[in-house]
Structure 1
Amino acid sequence: MQSNHAVRNGLIALFVFFAMLALGGCAGFMNRDPLRVNVAGIEPLEGQGLEMRFAVKLRVQNPNDAPIDFDGVALDLDLNGRPFASGVSPQRGTVPRFGEAVLSVPVTVSAWSVARQALGFASGDASTKVAYEARGRLAGGAFGGARFSDKGAIDFPTGGGALGY
């Protein structure tokens, strides 16, 4: 009877030990600075039907003293507060400690997203500035990876530029 009690106490002690290790790991992630992500470029890809596809280049900077390993990337792009494009990539890699990496994520733009943006321009919702927001996640690790976001505005030339305004 005492051996069952000893085994149970040993299992409880082992569980507490692993729980403390896990919480210690969580504490390490709590002190992690957010990643800095900027859209570094956009290149056209071949689309299907009415959709458009682009390779969005992201410059990811890691301001932390530990590297960040990732196994997959997800990205959502909004223009003028409206969903515009989304994409995923199974790309794997590491953003070194106090370093950076450039990732390429293929995104799809539906014909409906283009139509919504065009209607926004036609109705006068937009000016020569287009606000964008990029949100995403580097997947991987025991705690789901690292989330990121970037906001900004793109200035389009006025007076008969590429958009014909």
Structure 2
Amino acid sequence: MTFVLNNQLRGLLLFFIGLILAGCSNLQPKLEQPTVKVAGLQLLPAQGFSQPIEVSLLIANPNDRDLHLRGMSYTIGIENFDVLSGVSDQLPTLMAYQETPVKVVVSANVLQLVRLIEHFGRNGVKENVNYNFSAKLDFSAWLPALRINEAGKIPLAAKKR
């Protein structure tokens, strides 16, 4: 009889542990994805063969809570060539329902730049150049990392009237 009781207690205990774990998964807040706009670029002083570029971003937080960033990795591509990339752990808090200005430094991938120049040499430069910005925003251990992808076109020629 003790054996049967132990199995019943063990089953009941496993059932409650399962309920607790299922409840914890619902405690993780659902976050809407922030949006990122590239607001500007500025060349920084060259460092040897490297040309760092400061990128000014506006990150909009559409959530009802401030988001504290631990770090961010990011890539900027032109015509599907990932030419600029960087990482940062010096980031401001993204305030709830606000756009937060963020400045990050990127460095050029020389091999991808050569491929991009070769691409333009073969295909010519169009009126619009495609760009993409992708980033991984890393929050605290309690929140999952968010991946952001933005894409668009940069007009290079004035529109004809």
Post-superposition CA distance 1:45-98 (Å, at most 9, x none):
233333321111111001122222111111111100111111001123321221
SS in 2 for 1:151: strand
- Give the number of equivalent residue pairs: 155
Contact 2:35 2:61 in 1 (8 A): yes
Q: How does 1:64-143 map to 2 (within 5 A)?
A: 64-141=63-140, 142-143=142-143
**Using the alignment, how far apart are the partners of 2:49 and 2:19 within structure 1?**
56
Summarize the Cα distance change of 1:13–1:92 in structure 2 as closer, same or farther, 3 Å threshold: farther
* The one of 19, 22, 45 aligned to 2:21: 19
SS in 1 for 2:123: coil
TM-score (normalizing by structure 1): 0.78
Structure 1 unmatched ranges of 5 or more: 159-165
TM-score (normalizing by structure 2): 0.79
State the superposition RMSD in angstroms: 2.6
Summarize the Cα distance change of 1:57–1:8 in structure 2 as closer, same or farther, 3 Å threshold: farther
Summarize the Cα distance change of 1:11–1:93 in structure 2 as closer, same or farther, 3 Å threshold: farther
**Using the alignment, how far apart are the partners of 1:23 and 1:16 within structure 2?**
11
Matched to 1:151, the amino acid is A
**Using the alignment, how far apart are the partners of 1:146 and 1:130 within structure 2?**
27
Same amino acid, percent of matched pairs: 22
Shift of the alpha carbon at 1:136?
0.2
Shift of the alpha carbon at 1:101?
0.8
Summarize the Cα distance change of 1:8–1:86 in structure 2 as closer, same or farther, 3 Å threshold: same
